[in-house]
């Protein structure tokens, strides 16, 4: 039997998310609508982004590089390599997005025809 997926709908700060994975973030962007922190831990390097609104997160993700995998939560994202995201995913309870966040078929890899 598969374990039920943990969904965490709490709103977190960059600092709170970073603490969950053992990091004291270096804040890169500190704006009202978006905050970004850089983390470097034994798991690797990654960026933690938090958003004032869900709409702000969606707009940001619409312009995010599609080739970068990222973890997504309620009004937050974490960007890094797939290897790093796999290591920190369970502690953050994020959903792994490999490609376009809005199109399920874009999230899977396969051959194109």
Question: Residue 41's Cα: distance from chain center in Å?
Answer: 16
> pLDDT digit of tens for each residue in the chain (113 aa)?
555 556 677 889 999 999 999 999 999 999 999 999 999 999 999 999 999 999 999 898 888 766 678 899 999 999 999 999 999 999 998 999 886 545 443 343 333 33
Model's pTM, two decimal places? 0.80
Cα(51)–Cα(112) distance, integer angstroms: 35
Q: Kindly state whether residue 2 falls inside one of the protein's structural domains.
A: no
Domain range for 96 is 66-103
CA distance 98 to 35: 22
Residue 18 forms part of a structural domain: no
Domain count, the chain: 1
């Amino acid at each position: 039997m598969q374990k039920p997926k943990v969904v965490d709908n709490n709103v977190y700060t960059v600092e709170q998310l970073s603490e969950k994975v053992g990091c004291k973030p270096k804040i890169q962007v500190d704006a009202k609508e978006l905050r970004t922190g850089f983390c470097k831990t034994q798991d690797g390097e990654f960026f933690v982004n938090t958003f004032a609104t869900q709409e702000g997160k969606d707009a940001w993700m619409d312009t995010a590089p599609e080739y970068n995998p990222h973890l997504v939560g309620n009004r937050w994202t974490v960007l890094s390599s797939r290897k790093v995201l796999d290591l920190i995913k369970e502690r953050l309870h994020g959903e792994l997005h490999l490609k376009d966040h809005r199109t399920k078929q874009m999230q899977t890899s396969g051959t194109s025809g």
